[in-house]
């Protein structure tokens, strides 16, 4: 939820705020509020005293959840941690039965009344979604030292028999607990992620997983997703023999998940005449297999991304709209688009499968837990012949060669995948033959940023140059995304601001873009001029910074210490800058060559002067890795050495 959105709610709530003399907090909250907390660094805004989620499953599959939560505010900034929420759905498949919140202040207790509960749609970018939440925002009611607590009771009839409990978001936690009480004879199993295995305490058919005293997860640049850092448990339950958990589905293996999802989705991919005609029209006269797939892929990428989330209770979150309907309206969400592509491919005799994946954190999906709840996105795997050669092809023992493609990402062509999906586990939905497989990850050389610069340094210190910047793989996709998303004027501004980072007053003569999308290549050509780039000092010395074109992305190593791991993406850079030196000057100093090797990558820089030209060649290759905070010093050293090497100027003197 955006901060701006919270502000709107805060504003609305301010109009309804009311105080009650003699309010009291429940015993559990009063007791928790007495807890002493460790001394945290001064930038820790709040600490969770208790996050207790208690789930009771009845023998007809009804799930009642009671959550008790208390947070102590430590700083003024921590006030924004004082909020309560309870999720529900407008179709009544999840109901909020009770929702209360309190603030414990030095001078008494403040209980929130019903008028202060906001009811908020969870639409994000959806046109419509059934997901909603009850929300109490208490930011204006608390200050450092106070304790905010809430209790929520929800009732659900889920299509699943599985739960996820995250023990932490980012602030420290004193106690976090997940308890599950099942009917007699039923059993539960849990898996722990991002933490050593947590053994539950079991009492009859009640299970409890608990963690205590979790330190804060500090926000830092180039950090892995918090979902990879915060500990969580995934818990599944299984009815006693002969019993049934209402409508709840339980899964023992990935093929079972695949089979269930296949049952929901397969019939939706039936081709209709109009989409058949379109698919044939797109591929008419195209014989090359990859080119045929590209033609259809491009078409589906052009279908507008629009999400309408309804009928969730009956699996609407997992069932795409019928392909014919999506084709007719020319819009849909990720599963609609993947399903449309599947239907279109069918009409030209190509078999394919929907694929469930997690977008945003390639390490999120864990093989050990067979559950559809691990995914938030849908792509496609296409059966291809040997003529299709791509790093995104995986050979599956039962399904053959599969080419993975994301038709929702409008900028990544077929043959590549968005960066955050590469290397992730994904479920190929192919009935009982479906399984979880690991999507390939491109090598650094596939995400290449190749910059060639031909520059002429004039006697007054100004520079005229032509830059050609060819990008492949995800480098190209990112820039293609910018080019397609920004208006022409804003794109030029972006290029201008990027180049101005290393050359003040830079003027752009022209920007030319060459997008060879099907080849996964994007080229930018810029004519530029920079007055006073090489300032003339004392009328005889000229200093040329060899880094006229700044790198767009850099690993951030400005902070001296690091508290969380640092994530490095697979990328490669090749830069050849030629500086023609002005008449009457000669080279006095050039930077020494540098060659660095580390576990995170390699770097080389050489500078050569010959024939009135100085040529600077730099190569950087970054190996994808998640490096623990303890090794940050060596990462910092590596990138610090690169920074140092690139700042060393070329010095010319007047003859």
Partner 1 sequence: MKRLLIASACLTLWLVSLWGTTLADDWKPIDPAHMAQKTPSVDPNADAEIIFWEVRVDDSTADLVYNHYVRLKIFSERGKEKHGQVEIKYVNPIRIIDIAGRTIKPDGTIVELKKDAIFDRTDVKVSDVKLKTKAFAMPSVEVGSIIEYRWKEVQEERSANYVRLNMQREIPIQRVTYFLKPAEYPGYGMRAQMFNGNFQPFQKEKGGFYSTSMTNVPALQTESRMPPEDNVKRWMLVYYSNTDKPDPAKFWNDFGKRIFDVTKSYTKVNDEVRAAATQAIGDATTPDQKLERLYRFCQTRIRNVSDDASRLTPEERKRMKDNKNPSDTLKRGYGTGEDIDLLFASLATAAGFPGRLALIASRGRNFFDPSFADAYFLRSYVVAVQVGAEWRFYDPGVEHVEFGMLRWQEEGMQALIPDSKEPRFVVTPISDAKRSRAKRTGKFKLDESGMLEGDMRVEYTGHLARSRREALDDEAQAAREKYFESEVRSRMGAEVTDLKIENFDDATKPLTVSCHVRVPGYAKRTGKRLFIPVSFFQYGVAAMFADERRQNPIYFEYPWSEDDDVAISIPEGFDLDNAESPASFPISGDYGNYAAKASFDQKSRAIVYQRQFHFGKTNEIMLFPTSTYSVLRTIFGEVHKQDEHAITLKVK
Q: Which of 302, 360, 584, 593 binds partner 1 (CB under 8 A)?
A: 302
Tokens 């210490």 found at: 561
DSSP code for 444: G
> Distance between alpha carbon 259 and the CA centroid of its chain, in Å?
27
Please list every residue from 514 through 543 that binds partner 1, using CB under 8 A: 531-532, 535, 537-538, 540-541, 543
For residue 185, give Cα distances in angstroms to 178, 261, 321: 20, 29, 39
Nearer to partner 1, 400 or 644 (CB): 644
Half-sphere exposure (Cβ direction) of 71: Cα atoms closer than 13 Å: 27
558-563-565 Cα angle (round to 5): 85
Q: Which of 31, 277, 485, 634 binds partner 1 (CB under 8 A)?
A: 485
Q: How far is the CB of 507 from partner 1 (least distance, A)?
A: 6
Q: How far is the CB of 17 from partner 1 (least distance, A)?
A: 4
Q: How far is the CB of 15 from partner 1 (least distance, A)?
A: 7
Please list every residue from 567 through 606 that binds partner 1, using CB under 8 A: 588-589, 591-592
**DSSP H or E segment with residue 478:** helix 473-485
Helices (H) and strands (E) in the chain, counts: 11, 38
Q: Is residue 634 within the footprint of partner 1 (CB under 8 A)?
A: no
Q: Which of 383, 496, 598, 617 binds partner 1 (CB under 8 A)?
A: 496
Backbone angles phi, psi at 377, to 5 degrees: -155, 160
Q: Is residue 306 within the footprint of partner 1 (CB under 8 A)?
A: yes
Q: How far is the CB of 503 from partner 1 (least distance, A)?
A: 10
Q: Which of 66, 164, 308, 609 binds partner 1 (CB under 8 A)?
A: 308
Q: Which of 7, 12, 169, 202 binds partner 1 (CB under 8 A)?
A: 12
Please list every residue from 18 through 77 that binds partner 1, using CB under 8 A: 18-19, 42-43, 75-77
Q: Is residue 14 within the footprint of partner 1 (CB under 8 A)?
A: yes
Q: Is residue 414 within the footprint of partner 1 (CB under 8 A)?
A: no
Q: Which of 37, 56, 58, 123 binds partner 1 (CB under 8 A)?
A: 123
> Distance between alpha carbon 455 and the CA centroid of its chain, in Å?
38
Phi-psi sector, 285: left (phi>0), alpha (psi -120 to 50), beta: left
Nearer to partner 1, 75 or 617 (CB): 75
Q: Which of 367, 493, 514, 612 binds partner 1 (CB under 8 A)?
A: 493
Please list every residue from 175 through 204 that binds partner 1, using CB under 8 A: none
Query: Sheet holding 585-589: strands in order across?
Result: 536-537, 541-544, 650-654, 585-589
216-222-226 Cα angle (round to 5): 40
Q: How far is the CB of 617 from partner 1 (least distance, A)?
A: 18
Please list every residue from 326 through 385 that binds partner 1, using CB under 8 A: 328-331
Q: How far is the CB of 362 from partner 1 (least distance, A)?
A: 26
Q: Which of 398, 501, 612, 637 binds partner 1 (CB under 8 A)?
A: 501
Neighbours of 309 (CB within 10 A): 18
Nearer to partner 1, 543 or 609 (CB): 543
Please list every residue from 227 through 286 that binds partner 1, using CB under 8 A: none
Q: Is residue 173 within the footprint of partner 1 (CB under 8 A)?
A: no
Nearer to partner 1, 76 or 612 (CB): 76
CA–CA separation, 360 and 603 (whole Å): 29
Site string for partner 1, 90-119 (x = CB under 8 A): --------------------x----xxxxx
Q: Is residue 559 within the footprint of partner 1 (CB under 8 A)?
A: yes
* Dihedral angle, C-alpha 443, 449, 452, 453, nearest 10 °: -150
Please list every residue from 203 through 222 that binds partner 1, using CB under 8 A: none
31: helix, coil or strand?
A: helix
Q: Is residue 7 within the footprint of partner 1 (CB under 8 A)?
A: no
Q: Is the dihedral of CA 150, 173, 223, 641 positive or negative?
A: positive
Written as six digits, the tokens of 415 are: 């043959």
Size of the site for partner 1 (CB under 8 A): 78
Nearer to partner 1, 369 or 522 (CB): 522
Nearer to partner 1, 245 or 506 (CB): 506
Residue 37 burial (C-beta neighbours within 10 Å; 0-12, 13-18, 19+): middle
Q: How far is the CB of 284 from partner 1 (least distance, A)?
A: 18
Q: How far is the CB of 326 from partner 1 (least distance, A)?
A: 11
Please list every residue from 132 through 151 that binds partner 1, using CB under 8 A: 140-141, 143-144
Q: Is residue 497 within the footprint of partner 1 (CB under 8 A)?
A: yes
Nearer to partner 1, 116 or 419 (CB): 116
Nearer to partner 1, 90 or 450 (CB): 90
DSSP code for 530: E
Beta bridge partners of 69: 51, 150
346: helix, coil or strand?
A: helix
Q: How far is the CB of 61 from partner 1 (least distance, A)?
A: 30
Nearer to partner 1, 1 or 243 (CB): 1
Q: How far is the CB of 304 from partner 1 (least distance, A)?
A: 5
> Distance between alpha carbon 4 and the CA centroid of its chain, in Å?
21
Nearer to partner 1, 80 or 266 (CB): 80
Q: Which of 25, 109, 120, 235 binds partner 1 (CB under 8 A)?
A: 120
Close Cβ partners of 277 (under 8 Å, ≥ 6 residues apart): none
Backbone angles phi, psi at 556, to 5 degrees: -85, 115
- Diameter of the chain measured on Cα atoms: 96
* E runs forming strands in 58-93: 62-73, 83-89
CA–CA separation, 522 and 512 (whole Å): 11
Q: Is the dihedral of CA 104, 106, 109, 111 positive or negative?
A: negative
The region of 148-156, 488-496, 519-527, 621-629 touching partner 1 under the rule CB under 8 A is 488-496
């Amino acid at each position: 939820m955006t901060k701006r959105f919270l502000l709107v709610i805060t504003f609305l709530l301010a109009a309804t705020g009311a105080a009650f003399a003699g309010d009291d907090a429940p015993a559990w909250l009063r007791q928790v509020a007495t807890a002493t907390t460790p001394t945290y660094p001064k930038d820790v805004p709040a600490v969770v005293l208790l996050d207790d989620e208690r789930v009771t499953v009845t023998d007809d599959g009804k799930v009642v959840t009671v959550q008790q939560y208390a947070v102590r505010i430590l700083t003024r900034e921590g006030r924004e941690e004082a909020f309560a929420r309870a999720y529900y759905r407008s179709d009544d498949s999840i109901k909020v039965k009770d929702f209360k919140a309190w603030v414990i202040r030095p001078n008494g207790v403040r209980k929130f009344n019903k008028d202060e509960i906001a009811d908020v749609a969870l639409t994000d970018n959806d046109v419509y979604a059934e997901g909603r939440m009850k929300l109490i925002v208490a930011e204006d009611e608390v200050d450092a030292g106070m304790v905010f607590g809430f209790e929520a009771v929800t009732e659900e009839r889920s299509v699943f028999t599985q739960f996820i409990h995250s023990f932490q978001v980012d602030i420290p936690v004193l106690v976090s607990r997940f308890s599950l009480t099942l009917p007699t004879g039923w059993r539960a199993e849990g898996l722990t992620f991002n933490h050593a295995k947590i053994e539950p305490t079991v009492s009859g058919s009640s299970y409890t997983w608990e963690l205590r005293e979790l330190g804060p997860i500090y926000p830092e640049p180039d950090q892995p997703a918090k979902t990879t850092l915060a500990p969580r448990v995934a818990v599944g339950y299984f009815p006693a023999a002969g019993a049934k958990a209402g409508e709840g589905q339980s899964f023992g293996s990935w093929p079972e998940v695949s089979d269930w999802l296949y049952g929901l989705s397969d019939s939706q991919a039936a081709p209709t005449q109009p989409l058949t005609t379109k698919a044939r029209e797109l591929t008419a006269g195209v014989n090359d297999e990859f080119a045929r797939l590209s033609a259809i892929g491009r078409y589906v990428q052009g279908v507008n991304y629009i999400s309408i989330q309804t009928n969730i209770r009956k699996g609407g979150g997992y069932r795409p709209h019928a392909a014919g309907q999506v084709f007719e309206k020319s819009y849909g969400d990720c599963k609609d688009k993947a399903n449309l592509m599947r239907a279109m491919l069918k009409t030209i005799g190509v078999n394919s499968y929907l694929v469930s994946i997690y977008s945003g954190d390639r390490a999120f999906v864990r093989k050990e837990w067979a559950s559809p709840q691990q995914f938030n996105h849908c792509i496609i795997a296409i059966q291809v012949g040997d003529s299709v050669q791509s790093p995104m092809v995986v050979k599956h023992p039962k399904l053959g060669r599969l080419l993975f493609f994301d038709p929702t990402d409008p900028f990544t062509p077929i043959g590549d995948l968005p960066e955050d999906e590469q290397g992730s586990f994904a479920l190929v939905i192919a009935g009982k033959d479906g399984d979880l497989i690991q999507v390939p990850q491109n090598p650094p050389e596939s995400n290449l940023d190749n910059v060639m610069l031909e520059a002429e340094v004039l006697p007054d210190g100004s520079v005229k140059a032509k830059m050609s910047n060819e990008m492949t793989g995800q480098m190209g996709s990112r820039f293609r995304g910018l080019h397609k998303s920004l208006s022409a004027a804003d794109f030029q501004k972006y290029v201008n601001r990027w180049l101005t980072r290393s050359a003040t007053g830079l003027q752009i003569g022209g920007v030319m873009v060459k997008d060879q999308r099907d080849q996964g290549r994007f080229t930018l050509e810029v004519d530029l001029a920079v007055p006073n780039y090489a300032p003339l000092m004392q009328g005889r010395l000229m200093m040329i910074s060899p880094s006229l074109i700044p790198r767009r992305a850099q690993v951030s190593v400005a902070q001296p210490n690091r508290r969380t791991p640092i994530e490095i993406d697979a990328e490669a850079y090749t830069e050849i800058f030629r500086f023609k030196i002005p008449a009457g000057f000669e080279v006095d100093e050039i930077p020494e060559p540098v060659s660095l090797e580390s576990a995170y990558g390699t770097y080389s820089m050489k500078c050569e002067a010959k024939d009135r030209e100085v040529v600077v060649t730099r190569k950087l290759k970054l190996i994808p890795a998640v490096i623990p905070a303890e090794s940050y010093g060596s990462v910092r050293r590596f990138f610090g050495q690169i920074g140092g090497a690139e700042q060393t100027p070329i010095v010319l003197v007047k003859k």
